[in-house]
Structure 1
């Protein structure tokens, strides 16, 4: 009997020794990465308009700055520009998910996503229904003189012309044309009025006002275009330097002589 018990004990001991080990406890999942390591939410351009609007001539620059400083820390936006003369507002890059909360802030009137616009001459007259007015009233700008106060005009451009037979209101000065009878470069203080800037903003404005590509002009087909008043004359008043932007609004002796004969000024 004693030997039998010893044998059973030996078998149990051997079985326990050969048994499969207990399953290991699985490792806990790693903690989430810190917020700074996660992919940041893309910011979008917005305009934030404040409820309080400027009443005096000096603007509310300090008010806008205070609001920007207060809300900027809370919403992590990047301010681009501040406005405080005509309107109290600022432009910024803001996470899209924060728009609703920022709009609900006291003192904030609206948060609007900014749209991106690109210059286009192809549809300017149609969008403003100038083509209908021209047809209805038979006007094409003849007899008008418009001063373009901008980055200059290329007076030799193919569409800077008057139709044959149109009597110009102003006779051209030396070096100028019937379409652009006069101009001056107030930034560099010389007579070079050609728009040589990368933006070509002055030329774009001049084209909208009075480009004259002729009947059937088609920018896509022949590169020609007609402006709002194709037979108006233009004055090329260049007030921006070619190399850098600097306002040069100096006393204009010529302005006093011509202002009574101008039909409009485009700045």
Structure 2
């Protein structure tokens, strides 16, 4: 699997999970992937392309959910094959694990679903790597049970844990960086989601807000604390994105951000 190659090349460098929130179309996915691959190759950052084939957790009934499962999954596979990089996508119900696994290298468990035992087991049974996002309502220490569920089902499974902030009242999130070393204590790579952790959910408009100006702050702090990887959603025109545009990083800002983060990483080694 391509994820095995990633593990052997990480070394002392952080790795990156990045891409659009949702697969909006073939051309855009390939455009974003090509740009990020160019940047990460230049900087020596191991890279996993991220894109959701379907968005199941939406505030409003008429919110964009996807272009069709089979079409989006085929695009994810094409991205992986074209650029020789691992790919990751979310799954939401147990039966989706076997459907999505042939197309991607990593199955991601959304934060709201991180306690769903059957979903974790189904992901583990596919043999794909599993990235579990920490629930906004959980501590880092409690995520050991998610790791246990995956590893008990498949002892050979590769597991990542990703922090995406904790609920702070009804419409905001806050990042508790104590959660990163707490989750690393389970012997798995830990990722900081630098964009979803800046969401402002539960807005009266029915569209989630965000604070993208703080992405650099969240990312630099995570690297300084010792995060193994970063998760960043990016788009050429976030204001036109069909999902989560309010907290995405403009694609043309990614290279300068990663250059700074590489220097932060070097300074703490």
Query: What is the TM-score normalised by the length of structure 1?
Result: 0.21
Query: What is the TM-score normalised by the length of structure 2?
Result: 0.21
More helix per residue: 1 or 2? 2
